Amino acid sequence: MRISLKQLEIFLAVYHRGSTVAAAKQVFLSQSAISMALAELEKQLDTTLFQRVAKRLIPTQQAHLLSPLASNALKQVEQIEYLFNLKVERLVIGASTTIANYLLPRLIRDFQQQHPNIDIRLAIFNSSDVCQGLLNYDYDVGFIEGENPFVELKASKWMDDEMVLFAATHSRFVPAHKTLKSIRELESIPLILREIGSGTRSFVQRHLLQYLERSAVIELGNSEAIKQAVINDLGVGCLSRFALEDLLALGKIKILTIEQSEPLRRPLYLLENKQSTHSEAYQTFVDFAFNYRFDGMTSV
């Protein structure tokens, strides 16, 4: 069965006008052409769409069912034509939570000021879900905080991120001078961390938790929940410094350091599916992302 858009247009004209004569004037065809197209459509659908009463065509229940579907089909075609006539290109980005919430909004804003013809959609998931989405061709490009576990994906280091321990400004758990003498002091403090599967949690597991003999962990599903828990002095959190800019500016938290410990830095990665065919919009965005500057920090 091959129903044409012209048949649907003719059907709707007859449906709304009530006769082939009026429909012919609307779509600029002869009355006989209208009748032939309508008869062919009824044959293809194996149904009767109109009852012939005198000079009027009365829609059947099948016609009432078809009408909204035909209208939507024609509207979607109009949207496709409009979109491609505008030469708008679409780019779908999958990004892990920290990158999507605290880095990409400003990057996308500045990118679209230079490239208003590229429409961007941003999907936010944890790192493992972003990788899976790229494997399923859901995204054109991905950004994650953890390592890439899939050989089907190509990972390029995008930039460095600093992870920091932080507490409420007047926390009951940490000293006023903000410095811990040893990482082992964290064993007696509740740690408020992201969920397993997130890039942030994987990093904390490797660089902090594995050095503790015991730890009390409160697990929360997003960075904003962790920030609120820390503000209310439920424990100590560990997040990207980018995620804490607002609270630091308001004086609601303090950054903690550990004596004789190096800063906790992690790479952020841009991912692509090796089998994907990339558009010009993709390459334009990737070039922009690698040259973008975040308040003194540079892309790699």
Structure tokens at 189: 């403090």
pLDDT for the residue numbered 83: 67
User: Per residue in 215-238, pLDDT tens?
Assistant: 889 999 889 999 999 999 999 999
Tell whether the model's pLDDT for residue 299 goes beyond 50.
no
Q: Which residue is associated with the tokens 């009951």?
A: 172
pLDDT for the residue numbered 292: 94
Confidence of residue 81 (pLDDT cuts 50, 70, 90): confident
**Is this model's pTM higher than 0.85 or not?**
no
Residue 299 located in a structural domain: no
pLDDT for the residue numbered 297: 47
pLDDT for the residue numbered 157: 95
pLDDT for the residue numbered 155: 95
Same domain, yes or no, for 284 and 135? yes
Tell whether the model's pLDDT for residue 249 goes beyond 70.
yes
Q: How far apart, in whole angstroms, are the C-alpha atoms of residue 274 and residue 253?
A: 42
Tell whether the model's pLDDT for residue 95 goes beyond 90.
yes
% pLDDT > 70, the chain: 96
Q: How far apart, in whole angstroms, are the C-alpha atoms of residue 140 and residue 153?
A: 12
Tell whether the model's pLDDT for residue 85 goes beyond 80.
no
Q: Which range has the top average pLDDT, 201-205, 230-234, 256-260?
A: 230-234
- Average pLDDT, rounded, for the chain: 89
Residue 296 located in a structural domain: no
pLDDT for the residue numbered 296: 44
pLDDT for the residue numbered 298: 40
**Which stretch of 79-83, 179-183, 243-247, 277-281 has the lowest confidence by average pLDDT?**
79-83
CATH code, domain with 215 = 3.40.190.10
pLDDT for the residue numbered 88: 66
Domain count, the chain: 3
In the predicted model, what is the mean pLDDT of residues 116-126?
Answer: 89
**Which stretch of 48-62, 98-112, 195-209, 275-289 has the lowest confidence by average pLDDT?**
195-209
CATH code, domain with 17 = 1.10.10.10
Instruction: Select from 55, 85, 115 the last residue of a domain.
Output: 85
Residue 298 located in a structural domain: no
Structure tokens at 29: 């065809």
Q: At what angle do helices 5-17 and 20-27 cross, to 10 degrees?
A: 130
Same domain, yes or no, for 193 and 45? no
